[in-house]
A = this chain, B = another copy of it.
Amino acid sequence: MSERTFSPEQVEFRDYCRRWIAENRPAAPSFRLPLSPIEVMTEEQRRYLCDWQKRCYQAGLIGSDYPKEYGGGGHRGFQAIATQELGRAAVPYMINIIGLNMAAPTILNHGTDEQKRRFLPPLLSGDEIWCQGFSEPNAGSDLAGVQASAVRDGDQWIVNGHKVWTSLAHFASWMIMLCRSSSTHKYEGLTYFIVPIAGAKGVTVRPLIKITGETGFNEVLFEDLVVPDNLRVDAVGKGWTVAMTTLLYERGAAEGAGSGGGTSLDERIDALVALARGMKRNGGSAWDDGVIRDKVMQLAIRVEAMRQSARRAKVEPLTEHPMRLPLQSKVQISELLQDLAAVALEIEGPHASLYLGDAHAPENGQWPLAYLNSYGFTIAAGSNEIQRNILGERVLGLAKSK
C-alpha cells in the first residue's frame, strides 16, 4: 500500500476509517477470544464477533470494493485501506473469514448474477456464516480425489458424502462444496456447489476435537441432501478450476487475519523480539543469543519477502509464469506461521511448557497453542507436499508425480 499514491478519496477514506475505528472500538469481551476465527467455538463468541462484523460492514469497512448491487460499497482500492487500518488498530477479526476470503471472491468470479445478489450481501454483513467443504477423510491431501457425490436428478442434485476440516460449520448457513459429478474423469468429474447447512435435511454437523483440545472444526455428513441446480457454481465439470480460485484466496485464512485485521505478521515478529528480550537464556537474555537473533531475523526476512512477493505478483514485467508467485503463498504462509511458533517456543525455553491460561505463561500461553494449530494450515487445503507437486508440475512443467 503506497500512501504516496493515494487518491484524495483514498486519503479521506483512510482518515474516516481511523476515526470510525477509534470511536467504535468494541469493548473487550469478558471471555477469551481464540487466536483465529476458525477456532471460534461458543455462542457468546459468535454473537460478539458477528455483531462486530456487522457494524464494520454497515460502516463501509467490509465489502468496500464489492459492487453496490451486491451489497458492497462500490469503490476501488478502499478495502485494502480499511483492512490495513483494522489491522493496525488490532481490533477483533471478522468471524465470517471463510465467506469473506474464499466464498465471496469465488462467487464473484464464477457465480451467476442471481447468486451474487442472493449470497453476497448477508455474507459481507456476517448475517450468514460460510464454511468450506473440500477435504474428505480419504482425500485429505489429494483434493482431486473428492468422493462426495452429486447426482443430477432433473433440475436438482442429490448430494451424499463426508467432509472434514469444515471450520465454522457449526455456525454456518452455507458451504462452498466440491463434489464428484462423474467418476470417469478425475479432474473434469468435479462440480462446485453452494449447499445449505444449518437446518438442512440430510446434513449432520459433528464437531471434531483438535490436538489443541479445542473444537472449532467439524466433520459434515450428507445423506441425500437435495440441492437445486441454481446453487451450482460455474459449469458442470468445472469444479477443479473453481476450487483453484478459492484456494488462491485462502491465503488470508491461513494468516488467521482475515480481511479484517487480527495480528499482522509484522506484529508477530515484533512480539518475538520483545519475547526474546524478556526471556533469560544461558546467562543473558534470549535476544543476546546469536542463534535466536539469527532465527528471528530469518523469519523477519520471510515476512518481508512475502509482502514484497504479493506486491511483485502484480507487476507483470517482474513476473514470469502468472501462477508462479500466487501458487507459492499457501506453502509460504503456512510454513512461516509454523516456524514462527516453533522459534517462539525455543525463545520461551522451559516457559514453552506453560499452556493457554496458565498464570505465568508468556503471552497467556498463546505460542504452544499457535504451534499446534499451525499444522492445521500445513495439512489442510491440499497438504504442502501436494502444493509442492502442484508448483513443480503446473509452474515448472515437471512430470506429474501420479
Contacts and interface: CB of A to CB of B under 8 A. Distances in A.
Q: Is the interface of A mostly helix, strand, loop or mixed?
A: helix
A169 to B, nearest CB: 35
A289 B293 CA distance: 11
Interface in A251-308: 289-291, 293-294
A291 B297 CA distance: 12
A289 B291 CA distance: 9
Contacts of A294: 290-291
For A290, A293, A294, which residue has the most chain B Cβ atoms within 10 angstroms?
A290
Contacts of A290: 289-291, 293-294
Give the interface size bracket for A toward B: under 10
Interface string A121-148: 0000000000000000000000000000
Contacts of A289: 290
For this chain, the copies found in one complex come to 2
Nearest to A292: B290
Nearest to A288: B290
A35 to B, nearest CB: 31
Interface in A306-358: none
A290 B294 CA distance: 9
A322 to B, nearest CB: 31
A208 B294 CA distance: 41
A18 to B, nearest CB: 41
A293 B290 CA distance: 9
For A289, A291, A293, which residue has the most chain B Cβ atoms within 10 angstroms?
A291
A293 B282 CA distance: 15
A291 B295 CA distance: 10
A122 B289 CA distance: 57
Contacts of A293: 290
A385 to B, nearest CB: 14
Contacts of A291: 290-291, 294
A203 to B, nearest CB: 37
A275 to B, nearest CB: 18
Interface in A214-260: none
A288 to B, nearest CB: 9
A373 to B, nearest CB: 28
A216 B294 CA distance: 40
A14 to B, nearest CB: 41
A290 B293 CA distance: 9
A339 to B, nearest CB: 17
Nearest to A293: B290
Nearest to A294: B291
A399 to B, nearest CB: 14
A294 B292 CA distance: 11
A252 B22 CA distance: 70
A326 to B, nearest CB: 29
A369 to B, nearest CB: 28
Nearest to A282: B290
A398 to B, nearest CB: 15
Interface string A364-384: 000000000000000000000
A289 to B, nearest CB: 6
A165 to B, nearest CB: 26
Nearest to A290: B290
A34 to B, nearest CB: 35
7 contacts: A289-B290, A290-B290, A290-B291, A290-B293, A290-B294, A291-B291, A291-B294
Interface of A: 289-291, 293-294
The 7 closest A-B pairs by CB, nearest first: A290-B290, A291-B294, A290-B291, A291-B291, A289-B290, A290-B294, A290-B293
